[in-house]
Structure 1
Amino acid sequence: MTTDLTAAPAVPAGRPRFVQHLGAIAQLAAMGVAGTAVFTVLGIFLGLGIGLAVLLVGLPLLVAFVYLLFATAWIEYERVEGLYGYGLPALLPRRSGRPGFGGWLRSLWQQFADGPMWRAVASAAISTVMGIATLSLVQAFASSAGLLFAPLLPGETVRIPATGIDIESEWGVVGGIVGILISLGFLFAIALLHGVLTRAILVPSREAALAEQARTAGTQRESAVRAGEVERTRIERDLHDGVQPRLVSVGMTLGLAQQKIDSDPAAARALIDEAHTSTKAAITELRQLARGIHASVLDDRGLDAAVSALAARSHVPVALDVRLDGRCSPTAEAAVYFVIAESLTNAAKHSRASEVRVLVRTRDDGGGSGSVGGGGVGGGRMLWARIEDNGLGGAHVTPGGGLDGIINRVTAAGGRSRLDSPAGGPTSLEVSVPCAS
């Protein structure tokens, strides 16, 4: 799901433009104070971090500098979105999806090089400069308002704010009115300019939005093709290695029974019983194979019931916690269902886990997930799941493997996935899929 930023309203519904301008002036005045303090702290962290990097003491300061940059950018996104309602997507921390210390370093570098974060920091810096000017204009407005009472004050002359010009007291009222009008004019001009600049900096152009939509659609199409290839390979493997040999064995057993039915009826009966048992086992395997292609319970009773059935059939005890406030699209529910099914299978076959915990939620955004398989998640209602086991860890995505298939399925549905499986465990897989995918 992609949010069309170019179609977002410039003013939130029900909020007069005049009120919006007053809000911008108030926020800019606050930014003049808070922003100055924030960028001073950022400068100190950066300077000390670079200066002490040779002694390795500055490295933690540089790491803190990156996280402070992200915090500043996140606040700027929320501030601008709350004020103007552009429809900006939530600014999410970057994650490489790789486990261990190397993965964390890669995530840190990706965060430092994140374009949206730097655009938000630039917007905050410009707003801080405009905020300092706003504070000066607010001071000029207050001083001009004070001139209205000049005739009541002792003395024959009063000074016009910010000019150093003295005028006679009887002209103070006129000077105060002129000063109020000028300062208000400049204040609202700054508010207008702030709206124009934040939109230009933070809201992607139509061309950029279309390019992002095309890139996301291409990624989802490639992931869908890849997921289909992995699924086809799995079906062929299961048929070739499981059901096909069993059916061949049933045919051979029935052939032997047919040869012995006249000469040795007891042996023929035993062979028929053996063929019957093998046939039932083959039917069971075919049902499991069909369930891996399409889960009918998912359509009939929803994701909660389907996941409960998975947990009941699991060879590893499952602590299940599903809290859904409604149905999502079949594509989204199927993607999350097969993620959970594959994770439970892996836990039983490879991880030596004694317990698996499965959490499923519906959320209002895609918060918290990085990306293993690519794809993009915009704002909106999300179907989120986390599967964690206490096994040996060390799981990784291999081309053509089960994890590769489910991650491509999630990406094809417009979602994101994050795998964390350090050696020694635990293993956790987290996915977020748009409900409307």
Structure 2
Amino acid sequence: MLGGYPLSLIGFVMLVTMLAVGLGTLVIWVGVPMMMIATQLIYGLAAAHRGLIKATLGVQIPTPRRERTGSVLQKWRQQLTDAQTWRNLAYLMITFPISVVEFALAIAGTIILPIGIWVLPFIASLHAQLAMALLGPNTAAQLSERAQRLQASRARGVDAAEAERRRIERDLHDGAQQRLVAVAMGLGRAQKKFEADPDGAKLLVGEALADAKLAVSELRDLARGIYPAVLGDRGLDAALSSLAAKSPVPVNVQVTVDPRPPAAVESTAYFIVGESLTNVAKYANASQVTVKVWREERPSGDMVVVEVTDDGDGGAVFHAGGGLAGLADRAATIDGVMTVVSPIGGPTVIRADLPCTW
């Protein structure tokens, strides 16, 4: 309370002065930059109050996140239409007279023991609740944003599942199905030749057997592409080590995910690493790749973080229908987020944050 009073006093005086001057000169455009500075000051003072409350009361108030795009004027206009700006301003205006009372009580509390023991903690608790309500994220807005994000994730997940279905259908049609048709035709011709030409029939049966073995191999590869057996049996560490062993570029794998995450998280992480290693081998011209997978505890829940780094040429970008976009869609099906940082000249870092609950 003693520290909050000077902060509230200085902030109140600066804001009232800047807003009064800015509004008074707005008609001649001189007030526009003043109002823009005042808007930034609102956010700066709000951050200072969050820091003070965390340092003195031990209450962590999350910082509301807002994306600003466009020119300076467009970003300012977005701030003016953002409810958080006005909630911050309301707190700064309300807290000034409150801080005067708190300051007086804090001085009295150092002298009068009952005030210091019983009254001040209660008032501090009320102040923290007020700050949480006005300076923290708007719960309704957060829920609305999450609903929109989940809706978008679901749509991307449906698209990803449909693309996967078409890929499996195409692989079956062009691979195993063609082999099995060839087996059936070869056995049919062999059946007709068993009596008249036994040697020719044996040759056709041998060709059909070879085609059947190839069909089995292609079906096994297809099933492994859907969900590799080693991943289900032995987990991410063994599965990613298997991928690294097949890569033409040396790969260093570091996996720390205990306890074992859900199967959907494991398969998503596996395919992100697999596709990333394929892209590195094809396009990156890299000499070394590092794959790190670890588990993080966050306020929103446990996350599995996947990070693939290569020392190649860089320049990897998302584009519609591309492999990276497909991986981002796969991550989105479990409410995960994937980012790519790949400046020209490298290095390239592909990171996916995958929640263990969704």
TM-score by length of 2: 0.68
Report the AA paired with residue 133 of structure 1. Answer: V
Change (3 A) 1:31 1:128: farther
Q: What is the deviation of 1:236?
A: 3.0
> May I ask how many residue pairs the two structures share in their alignment?
335
Secondary structure of 1:394's partner? Answer: coil
- Aligned partner of 2:104 in structure 1 is 137
Secondary structure of 2:353's partner? Answer: strand
Q: CA RMSD in A?
A: 5.2
- Aligned partner of 1:387 in structure 2 is 308
Among 229, 238, 242, the alignment partner of 2:171 is 238
Secondary structure of 2:301's partner? Answer: coil
- Aligned partner of 2:30 in structure 1 is none
Report the AA paired with residue 108 of structure 2. Answer: F
Q: What is the deviation of 1:321?
A: 0.9
Secondary structure of 1:398's partner? Answer: coil
Measured in 2, the distance between the counterparts of 1:119 and 1:94 equals: 17
- Aligned partner of 1:221 in structure 2 is 154
Q: Is the 8 A contact 2:63 2:135 kept in 1?
A: no
Secondary structure of 1:354's partner? Answer: coil
Offset from partner CA, 1:132-187 (integer Å, 9 cap, x none): 52674167427x94xxxxxxxxxxxxxxxxxxxxxxxxxxxxxxx7xx88899985
Tell me, yes or no, if structure 1 residue 308 matches structure 2 residue 308.
Answer: no
Tell me, yes or no, if structure 1 residue 404 matches structure 2 residue 350.
Answer: no
Secondary structure of 1:397's partner? Answer: coil
Q: What is the deviation of 1:292?
A: 1.9
Report the AA paired with residue 294 of structure 2. Answer: R
Q: What is the deviation of 1:413?
A: 0.7
Q: What is the deviation of 1:220?
A: 3.1
Following superposition of structure 1 onto structure 2, how do residues 159-308 of structure 1 map, counting pairs within 5 Å?
190-191=123-124, 193-202=126-135, 207-208=140-141, 210-244=143-177, 269=203, 279-308=212-241
Among 62, 65, 73, the alignment partner of 2:47 is 73
Tell me, yes or no, if structure 1 residue 353 matches structure 2 residue 286.
Answer: yes
TM-score by length of 1: 0.58
- Aligned partner of 2:267 in structure 1 is 334
Change (3 A) 1:214 1:353: same
Among 344, 350, 364, the alignment partner of 2:297 is 364
Higher relative contact order (CA 8 A, sep 6+): 1
- Aligned partner of 1:426 in structure 2 is 347
Change (3 A) 1:235 1:41: farther
Change (3 A) 1:406 1:384: same
Q: Is the 8 A contact 1:70 1:93 kept in 2?
A: no
Report the AA paired with residue 317 of structure 2. Answer: H
Q: What is the deviation of 1:361?
A: 0.5
Q: What is the deviation of 1:317?
A: 1.9
Where does structure 2 lack aligned partners over 5 or more consecutive residues?
Answer: 16-35
Where does structure 1 lack aligned partners over 5 or more consecutive residues?
Answer: 1-24, 43-61, 97-101, 146-176, 366-377
